[in-house]
Amino acid sequence: MSTDILLDVQNVTRRFGGLVANSDVSVEVRRGEILGLIGPNGAGKSTLFNLIAGAFPPNEGSIRFEGQDIARLSGPARCRLGIARTFQVPRSFDSMSVLDNVMVGAFAKEPGSAAARRVAYETLAFCGLQQRAPAPAGELTPPEKRRLEVARALATKPKLLLLDEVMTGLTPSEARLGVELVRKVRDQGVTVVMVEHVMEIVMPLVDRAVVLNLGKVLAEGKPRDVVRDDAVITAYLGE
């Protein structure tokens, strides 16, 4: 694996009123890796994704993508640079077809509708949803909706994919398929950061893990070292 840094988050702080959701957070994401972002509920994981994807700017700190300072760019501008994310609560357009939902993503890079449609079909096939292409998104099962989230993000042809709890609520066999899909995405050359609550799912899959707790980075390293870290064990037991 290359040690080239794709995304460099340095000393980022984000407050909501008096609440410090991210406090002096620094995370480096290496090109080609799968990085796990874990931590108890309310640790600040989704906030960090929002900061990276451009939902809102940090109060302090810098965010660099391929060396470029992106901290003040809009979400769509970051998407064009190659950052895509899924939402913890799936955000499909339920009355639109599954295909059209994915075309929304594809249009980010393919302004022509024929090209966008082709990309959308390819992405649906990649995600195992091709048979559902004509169905209204509202008719998908919960695990299919998670796949649709991933497909819409992938259709933007990202360099960096941020997955926010895409395995939550899946049965063990569905989660295995999800893990397989994430590996396939990485094998296509896409760098992945995944927030996942269930350690048993995420730890065997990721190359490195960063643990957030109370808005701060608590630990980082190889999964096998992180799960043995006393501070990490205490944070999880304290839930």
Whether 197 contacts 236, CB under 8 Å: no
The one among 6, 25, 29, 47 contacting ligand ADP by CB under 6 A: 47
The one among 22, 46, 50, 156 contacting Mg ion by CB under 5 A: 46
From 39-47, 100-108, 186-194, 224-232, give the range in contact with ligand ADP by CB under 6 A.
Answer: 39-47
Based on CB atoms, which residue is closest to Mg ion, 38 or 155? Answer: 38
Site string for ligand ADP, 7-26 (x = CB under 6 A): ---------x--x-x-----
The one among 36, 39, 54, 158 contacting ligand ADP by CB under 6 A: 39
CA-to-CA separations, 60 to 9, 64, 74, in angstroms, rounded: 11, 13, 17
The one among 2, 3, 18, 41 contacting ligand ADP by CB under 6 A: 41
**68 near ligand ADP, judged by CB under 6 A:** no
From 41-49, 113-121, 166-174, 185-193, give the range in contact with ligand ADP by CB under 6 A.
Answer: 41-49
**191 near Mg ion, judged by CB under 5 A:** no
**211 near ligand ADP, judged by CB under 6 A:** no
Phi then psi for 157, rounded to 5 degrees? 55, 60
- Tell me, by CB under 5 A, how many residues bind Mg ion: 3
**58 near ligand ADP, judged by CB under 6 A:** no
**43 near ligand ADP, judged by CB under 6 A:** yes
Spatial CA neighbour of 86 closest among 139, 39, 45, 42: 45
Spatial CA neighbour of 199 closest among 171, 230, 167, 221: 167
Measured distance CA(84)–CA(65) in Å, rounded: 12
**92 near Mg ion, judged by CB under 5 A:** no
Measured distance CA(98)–CA(140) in Å, rounded: 9
Based on CB atoms, which residue is closest to Mg ion, 59 or 88? Answer: 88
Element (H, E) at 37: strand 34-38
CB of 7 to ligand ADP, least distance (A): 17
Spatial CA neighbour of 96 closest among 131, 137, 141: 137
Whether 155 contacts 119, CB under 8 Å: yes
Measured distance CA(117)–CA(125) in Å, rounded: 12
Pairing state between β 5-16 and 19-30: antiparallel
Could you list the residues that contact ligand ADP (CB under 6 A)? Answer: 16, 19, 21, 39, 41-47
Could you list the residues that contact Mg ion (CB under 5 A)? Answer: 45-46, 88
